[in-house]
């Protein structure tokens, strides 16, 4: 599996080399972690990824996750609330050039890319990565969690 862990990294805005969250997903910043799956409708890897994540909805909810699937320019909400998103803008911001190829990204609550995948990831592996992040550790300490 090809996986790039960008934990702690930021997406660089080439115009000023400053910290730059994924603009097309700004509505989720500081509220949700967003897992974005790119695939055409009949892509088996995308379906496997989707099923893997939906098998543990309670864990997704506990981690304030939103899961989106992008096919072409269409955005489908797989888990969590999402409205009015532009699939082409998300594709451009995450630099996913080829329509029809599987790709997945984890965008943290700070709005930056934390994980980039070219193959599906298990829910356990994804949750372990999220749980190792400082923001998630801080959330776990809050009494309302």
Convert the pLDDT of each residue in 58-82 to its tens digit. Answer: 999 999 999 999 998 899 999 999 9
Q: Residue 59's domain is classified under what CATH number?
A: 3.40.30.10
19: number of Cβ within 10 Å: 12
Stretch 88-109: mean pLDDT: 91
This prediction's pTM: 0.84
Q: Please report, in angstroms and rounded to a whole number, the separation of the first and last CA atoms in the chain.
A: 33
Per-residue pLDDT at 125: 96
Contacts of range 129-136, beta carbons closer than 8 Å, 24 or more positions apart:
129/5, 129/7, 130/33, 130/63, 130/106, 131/63, 132/7, 133/7, 133/108, 135/108, 135/109, 135/110, 136/63
Domain that includes residue 20, residue range: 3-141
Provide the number of structural domains found in the chain.
1
């Amino acid at each position: 599996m090809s996986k790039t862990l960008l934990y702690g990294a930021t997406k660089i805005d080439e115009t000023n080399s400053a910290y730059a969250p994924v603009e097309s997903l700004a509505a989720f910043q500081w509220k949700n972690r967003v897992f974005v799956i790119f695939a055409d409708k009949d892509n088996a890897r995308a379906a496997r990824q989707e099923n893997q994540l939906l098998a543990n909805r309670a864990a997704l909810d506990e981690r304030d996750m939103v899961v989106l699937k992008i096919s072409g320019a269409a955005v489908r909400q797989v888990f969590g609330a999402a409205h009015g998103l532009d699939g082409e803008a998300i594709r451009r911001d995450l630099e996913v050039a080829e329509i029809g190829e599987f790709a997945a990204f984890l965008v943290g609550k700070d709005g930056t890319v934390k994980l980039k995948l070219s193959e599906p990831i298990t829910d356990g592996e994804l949750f372990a990565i999220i749980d190792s992040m400082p923001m998630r550790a801080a959330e776990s300490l809050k009494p309302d969690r």
